[in-house]
Structure 1
Amino acid sequence: MSVVLYHWPISPPPRTVLAVSKAIWIDATCLNIGGHVIPTYLVSRYGKDDSLCPKDLKMRALVDQRLYFNATALFPRIKNTTTSIIFFGKRSVDADAKAAIYKALGILEKYLEPTGWVAGDRPTVADISCSVSTGRMKVRDT
């Protein structure tokens, strides 16, 4: 199965879609997308099973909650900081922005503590999404 999607290559949401596409073995060509909801659609539509996006309502609610956390807290905090550096030439991260990122990372660590996975006891789209959001971070105490 081949799917054509549209995206901006350095943006984490489309990279999440590409990572999920690889996880469910579909050939996705991305051109310009930006939605956080596409990975769950792809898994629901093309996935061979529900391992990445559970059908069990309690587990699905947990996965969805962690996806919303990424979309509303983790990703925006990282994006706002990196956008200032990449596009506007900012040379440092102000203390409030750094504290906000560390707070979101602390929550993510709490999610990971029980099992090593973001939601439940196996990898899900929430793990892929959060790992893509944080994957290019380099933390320095400067």
Structure 2
Amino acid sequence: MGLILYHFPPSGPSRGALLAAKAIGADVDVQIVNLFKKEQLKEDFVKINPQHTVPTLVDGDVSIWDSHAIGTYLATTYGKDETLYPKDPKQRALIDQRLYFDCGTLYPRIRAICFPVLFLGEDQIYDEHKAPLEEALGFLDVFLEGNEFVTGNKLTVADCSLVASTSSIAAIGWDLSPYSNVAAWVARCSLAIPGYAEFNQTGADEFGKLVRSKLAPGQL
């Protein structure tokens, strides 16, 4: 039995895991779990992942969820070389830090804006949520100063996660122009990651369109 990735295209974290798989060259069987239809609550899926989240990776008798854990697992287990997740402790620690920045800082601040709009009936984006996201994008811009990618001049699994998050907020119409390093990096990732348009941008656009459709005029 091969690798199975349970995936929902509008989800930034889910796209981050899929981008990592594509960058690594791992052959994954993508199975769609529609969160809007609550398919993640089906009994068969809950048996695989009791936290019922996507993405979820199944590799034989092992199930892994959280996109960052999936990316590093795939790179360690199936990577053709160490480029995307080197074994060197210092290099790996820097990649891990960027991954933790995504899951602990950037993505939660994106979610704080988009989740209430998608699921709680909000139609506005409040300043109290805008400022933290701008701060996180500013941090990312600093990480990229003088670098082509988020840990240096080579693509890693950290780029896959962070660009999936960043493209999600860009797709709702967030202005990235104040962060020139970020904007240029997104463009580089779109060329460096195989299948970027199909496996990331299409889902980001779907996500962005849905969020925009629920916002009051003039929110962005």
Partner Cα separation in structure 1 for residue 146 and residue 139 of structure 2: 13
1:45, distance to aligned residue in structure 2 (A): 0.4
1:43, distance to aligned residue in structure 2 (A): 0.6
1:29, distance to aligned residue in structure 2 (A): 2.5
Partner Cα separation in structure 1 for residue 29 and residue 111 of structure 2: 24
| 1:59-110 deviation line (CA, Å, top 9, x unaligned) | 1110000100001000111012111112223222100100010000000000
1:17, distance to aligned residue in structure 2 (A): 1.2
Partner Cα separation in structure 2 for residue 109 and residue 52 of structure 1: 21
Q: Which residue of 1 aligns with 2:18?
A: 18
Return 5+ residue gaps in structure 2 as ranges. Answer: 32-53, 57-64, 176-218
Partner Cα separation in structure 2 for residue 30 and residue 92 of structure 1: 34
TM-score norm. by structure 2 comes to 0.60
Work out whether residues 24 and 46 of structure 1, in 8 Å CA contact, stay in contact via their aligned partners in 2: yes
1:121, distance to aligned residue in structure 2 (A): 1.9
Q: Which residue of 2 aligns with 1:74?
A: 106
Work out whether residues 59 and 120 of structure 1, in 8 Å CA contact, stay in contact via their aligned partners in 2: no
TM-score norm. by structure 1 comes to 0.91
Work out whether residues 14 and 30 of structure 1, in 8 Å CA contact, stay in contact via their aligned partners in 2: no
Structure 2 residue 27 is the aligned partner of structure 1 residue 27 = yes
Work out whether residues 6 and 30 of structure 1, in 8 Å CA contact, stay in contact via their aligned partners in 2: yes
The 3-state SS of whatever aligns with 1:77 is: helix
Work out whether residues 12 and 168 of structure 2, in 8 Å CA contact, stay in contact via their aligned partners in 1: no
Return 5+ residue gaps in structure 1 as ranges. Answer: none
Partner Cα separation in structure 1 for residue 29 and residue 126 of structure 2: 37
Partner Cα separation in structure 2 for residue 82 and residue 139 of structure 1: 12
| 1:96-133 deviation line (CA, Å, top 9, x unaligned) | 10001000000000001121211122111111110001
State the percentage of identical aligned residues.
Answer: 42
Q: Which residue of 2 aligns with 1:108?
A: 140
- The structure whose Rg is larger is 2
Work out whether residues 2 and 26 of structure 1, in 8 Å CA contact, stay in contact via their aligned partners in 2: no
Partner Cα separation in structure 1 for residue 132 and residue 126 of structure 2: 10
Q: Which residue of 2 aligns with 1:118?
A: 150
Q: Which residue of 2 aligns with 1:6?
A: 6
Work out whether residues 52 and 123 of structure 1, in 8 Å CA contact, stay in contact via their aligned partners in 2: yes
